[in-house]
Structure 1
Amino acid sequence: MIKVGDKLPGGTLYEYLDVEGEGCSIGPNPVDIATAVAGKTVAIFGLPGAFTPTCSAQHAPGFIDAYEQFKAAGVDEIWCVSVNDAFVMGAWGRELKAAGKVRMMADGSADFAKATGLTLDLSAKGLGLRSGRYAMLVKDGVVTQLNDEQGGGYAVSDAQTLLKQIQG
């Protein structure tokens, strides 16, 4: 499992954009992870699924609502990563009004989740292998903070906990 001090694994996530811009079509657009985090401070939170109760009511909205606080603390971008396709993540982002605040990143085949070791097996509930619930801070590709729920609870991966850690 990835830990503080490790380099974020390379790979590709996908993002659906509602508006074309900067040479990007509306989607799904590949996002090379290493390129996207290079030289930036990125808050990344992972969750088991779009449109699921805790993810929709608390986890994602917490980061969306705290966007200005994260920016003030020196965070360049906030990413939400889930094992869903880019179309689902785009629709969920529209519903949550995440545009311009949180990038809704699709990890449709769970490649990123598996590469980080931050997985949650929900096969018994018919959901298959998902992303675990976590929040991390990545500076220039290196993990500097990691709050892993290790089992899918919701106690340490919330926006305010990560924000307090960033602010010191």
Structure 2
Amino acid sequence: MIQLGDALPAITLAEYSEVEGEGCSLGPNPVDVAQAAVGKTLAVFAVPGAFTPTCSAQHVPSFVERVDAFKAAGVDEIWCLSVNDPFVMGAWARDQKTMGKIRMLADGDAAFAKATGLTLDLTGKGLGLRSNRYSMLVKDGKVVTLNVEAPGKHEVSDGATLLAQVQG
């Protein structure tokens, strides 16, 4: 499993964009994780799936409602990762009203989840291999704080907990 001080894996994720800008065309665009993290402070959190009950009702909203506080604490961007395709993540971004607040990044084949060792096997529930629920603070591509949830829990990876650690 990824540890404090480790660099984020050199993986390419995908982000669905509804508006052209900053080198992004409409539709899915590649996001080189290592390049996108250089020189930035990131609040990163991952969820098992878009549109799932806890993820939609609690996890994403806990970050959306604290966007300004994260920015004030020096966080450049907030990333939400999920093992879904970029079209689903784009639709979920619309549903959660995250545009301009949180980057909704698709880890379509679970490459990021596998590379970090933060996978969750939900095959028995019909969801296949997913990402575990977690949050992390990343500075210049390196993990500074990591909060990994126990299976089925949402207690330590929420926006309030990570914000308190950032403000620390």
Tell me if the contact between 1:132 and 1:152 (Cα under 8 Å) persists in the aligned partners: no
- Cα distance, 1:23 vs. partner? 2.5
TM-score (structure 1 length as normaliser): 0.98
Computed over aligned residues only, the root mean square deviation of the Cα atoms, in angstroms, reads 0.7
1:120 touches 1:152 (CA, 8 Å); kept in 2? no
C-alpha separation in 2, matches of 1:162 and 1:150: 16
Give the Cα separation in 2 of the matches to 1:75 and 1:156: 19
Equivalent residue runs for 1:8-47 within 5 Å: 8-47=8-47
What is the aligned partner in structure 2 of residue 147 from structure 1?
147
3-state SS of paired residue (2:25): coil
User: For 1:108, what is the secondary structure of its paired residue?
Assistant: coil
In the other structure, the counterpart of 1:159 is 159
Distance between the aligned counterparts of 1:116 and 1:69, measured in 2?
A: 27
Matching residue's letter, 1:21 = G
Give, in angstroms, the shift of residue 41 of structure 1: 0.2
Deviations 1:44-102 (CA, angstroms, capped at 9, x unpaired) = 00000000000000001111111000000000000000000000000000011000000
Cα offset, 1:152, TM superposition: 3.4
For 1:71 and 1:81, locate their aligned partners in 2 and report how far apart those are by CA, in whole Å.
Answer: 19
- 1:122–1:128 contact (8 Å) kept in structure 2: yes
C-alpha distance in structure 1 between counterparts of 2:6 and 2:34, whole Å: 13
Structure 1: segments with no counterpart, 5+ residues: none
CA contact (8 A) 1:41 1:76 kept: yes
Q: State the Cα distance separating 1:22 from its structure 2 match.
A: 2.1
Query: Normalising by the residue count of structure 2, what TM-score does the alignment of the two structures yield?
Result: 0.98
Match of 2:58 in 1: 58
Residue 84 of structure 2 aligns with which residue? 84
CA shift, 1:35, in A, is 0.4
Match of 1:153, SS state, is coil
How much has 1:24 moved relative to structure 2? 1.2
In 2, the alpha carbon distance for the partners of 1:110 and 1:164 equals 29
- What letter is aligned with 1:70? F
Matched AA of 1:116 = T
SS where residue 39 of structure 1 aligns?
A: coil
Q: Which runs of 4+ in 1 moved over 3 A?
A: none
Secondary structure of 1:143's partner? strand
User: 1:53 & 1:10 partners in 2: Cα distance?
Assistant: 30
- Letter in structure 2 aligned against 1:148: V
Whole-Å separation in 1 of the counterparts to 2:15 and 2:79: 10
Q: C-alpha separation between the residues in 1 aligned to 2:22 and 2:140?
A: 22
Partners of 1:18 and 1:49 in 2: CA distance: 21
Report the residue type matching 1:39 in the other structure.
G
Query: AA paired with 2:67?
Result: Y
Gaps of 5+ in 2: none
Percent identity, aligned pairs only?
Answer: 68
